[in-house]
Structure 1
Amino acid sequence: METGTGSGTGGGLADLDERIAGCRACPRLVDWREEVARTKRAAFADWTYWGRPVPGFGPADARLLIVGLAPAAHGGNRTGRMFTGDRSGDVLYQALYDVGLASQPTAVSAGDGLELYGVRVTAPVHCAPPANKPTPEERDTCRPWLVRELRLLRPTLRAVVVLGAFGWQAALPAFAEAGWTVPRPRPVFGHGARVRLDDALRPAEGKEEGGGGLDVFGCFHVSQRNTFTGRLTPEMLREVLRTAAGAAGETGLRAPGGAG
């Protein structure tokens, strides 16, 4: 399976990535992603589309996780890597580069050399959905993949940035299943929201089995609707990423770019 430089290389995550890429659980999503891969977009007529579920991307010992919505039909569904090859990804990876968490500001293909430093990118739905709108049933069917990913990341994971209300609603029950305590009533999504989740496993299973508490941050999604209208500006995104990276204890491995 092609995952590109910087994809999870730990045995557990590598196996998970491969299993995700072979999933055919949701007939509507399977039909759509494969139809898009056949018909293509004129601008990408010479591409061989990935056309499968898109696994997470980033190191197996990430301290920070970014949770989106789902791959774009002509982005991740084409390239095989989360947030790669579309306008949303352009915004996200530029911001990650600006704050020192990525090796380059662009993400155009799975083999472009991009590396992420201490951060992994994933989504609650791994297939491109029609009109960018997965159904609640598709979200729930895909949740076990996110739960497994979270469990594998538990030893190092300390903070999560969730992009958009859909991702927030999908991620909270996954956090609970993966071993963190989600407050009741469930926290409400908002840009700049910050929620502390305690480690539910540590008291019962001991320090070795538990990971640690988790700081969860809300951020408007990097969709064209939000970025073109100014609802989410580059500085707003950078600020959330900086704060979350600080909470995770992850400062990046390169000097931040020139964008403040």
Structure 2
Amino acid sequence: MHMHLDPKLDYVAPVSCSNCPRLVAFLDKSRQDNPDWHNAPVPSFGSINAEILILGLAPGLRGANRTGRPFTGDFAGDTLYQTLISHGFASGNYDPNGNDTLSLINVRIANAVRCVPPQNKPIGLEINNCRPFLSTELERMHQLKVILCLGRIAHDTLIRHFKLPAKDHLFSHCKSHKIKPDLSLLNSYHCSRYNVNTGRLTQPMFDDVFIKLTHLIK
């Protein structure tokens, strides 16, 4: 399944990208095992003119790597999109296969790493290699007001992009940082199955993040 959610612009990782040999090899194996999956860099979802960017870590093997749309097809996506709908940041119906009527409202969703990593864990070199795509994307988002980082690695990636002192911008759930006069960074624990099952992230805690997000963009 291939979803063309973005034009081929300079912030879109090309299918031919070979910057990360480990990820290239993992994608090659996934293409052999599941030839009908997306199995390529996953483009961002939502308008480049959105005021909100939600940043995750990387595509899941059976989620975005399968469907070609960020956070679509796995537990984290089920949680994220239902929460977006309930808080008015998305409309329509969400389907884990991506064949749905879902539409984001003033939101764009991206990953710090655009290709699926083994065991859902990119290494530092891969995060660094992929950062130029994210950096260019951020520069193109001229209306951007809030970046919601799902997880510490997404947070750290943004801190490095903006060249901010890490000690003054620590990751903490539902904490926001003013990084420019017109731009805030908001943190949340990742909505992964592990975090939800262990109680690190509850639905009320996730709701609190989106309540705060609503206030930040006003």
Give me the TM-score of the superposition, normalised by structure 2.
Answer: 0.91
Instruction: Select which of 146, 156, 162 maps to 1:169.
Output: 156
The equivalent residue for 1:96 is 84
1:154-181, Cα deviation, whole Å (9 max, x unpaired): x2000011011111111211234xxxxx
Count of aligned pairs: 218
Instruction: Select which of 212, 219, 232 maps to 2:188.
Output: 219
Give me the TM-score of the superposition, normalised by structure 1.
Answer: 0.77
CA RMSD of aligned residues (A): 2.1
Alignment of 1:107-256 (within 5 A): 107-153=95-141, 155-176=142-163, 182-183=164-165, 185-198=167-180, 213-249=182-218
Cα 1:23–1:156 change in 2 (3 A) is: same
Cα 1:18–1:137 change in 2 (3 A) is: closer
- CA distance in 1 between partners of 2:211 and 2:8 (Å): 28
Once the two structures are TM-superposed, the CA of residue 105 in structure 1 deviates from its matched residue by 5.3
Q: Give yes or no for contact 2:43–2:114 (8 Å, CA) kept in 1.
A: yes
Larger fraction in strand: 2
The equivalent residue for 1:38 is 32
Matched AA of 1:246: H
Q: Give yes or no for contact 2:93–2:100 (8 Å, CA) kept in 1.
A: no
- CA distance in 2 between partners of 1:223 and 1:238 (Å): 15
1:128-176, Cα deviation, whole Å (9 max, x unpaired): 10111111000000000110110000x2000011011111111211234
1:112-139, Cα deviation, whole Å (9 max, x unpaired): 2211000011111011101111110000
SS in 1 for 2:47: coil
- CA distance in 1 between partners of 2:140 and 2:184 (Å): 17
Seq. identity, %: 34
Q: Which runs of 5+ in 1 are unaligned?
A: 41-46, 177-181, 200-212, 250-260
Matched AA of 2:173: H
